[in-house]
Amino acid sequence: MKKSMKIVSNFITILLFLLLIFMVYIVISSKIAGGEPQFLGYQLKTVLSGSMEPTFKTGSIIAIKPVSDPASLKKKDVITFMESDNKLVTHRIVEVNKDGNQTMYKTKGDNNQDPDANAVLSQNVVGKYTGFTVPYAGYLIDFAKSKQGISLLLILPGIILLAYSGVTIFKAVKELDKGREKELKDGHETI
């Protein structure tokens, strides 16, 4: 029983420590990137509207991979692109038009009735959707970019880890005290 409790205790400690490291990474990378964080070469983007539902829900985070050759994208690919007003949009390609060296894409949100009004130039493509989605986690990332979020997500896991470490140390000291009491008691009985 004690061995399994120790294994569970070690697992919780490692999990809390990894959570702390991950939260520090999320906060720092989102500050450095000036937006959504990046992880292993993938950009994490927050879905702000329901235009692509049911493919992904509002508030989800999606992973996109920057494309080396935006002209190689094809119909049905889901892409993230820069709109004319410096806003990122993620929609599906419904038509590819090539005119000489220029490639343009007609896009449409899965939940929209009509295609987007303006064609997307290949040079405005930021990345291609990888198929990785975490529903509603975008709310956490948006919160992590706020001052309150930075404070909470950096401080709270640290406090939890410290509190858990304190409880573990208290239990260890208590076990040592029990062992000493038993030694003293056994020592007095033999005299």
Residue of 49, 72, 151, 165 with catalytic role: 49
What does each C-alpha distance from 74 to 41, 105, 178 come to in angstroms?
22, 9, 70
Give me the residues paired with residue 63 across strands. 44
Indicate the DSSP class of residue 56.
S
Rounded Cα distance between 145 and 59, Å, is 14
Beta pairing class for 102-108 and 78-82: unpaired
Find, among 45, 36, 53, the residue nearest to 92 by Cα: 53
49 part of the active site:
yes
Catalytic residues: 49
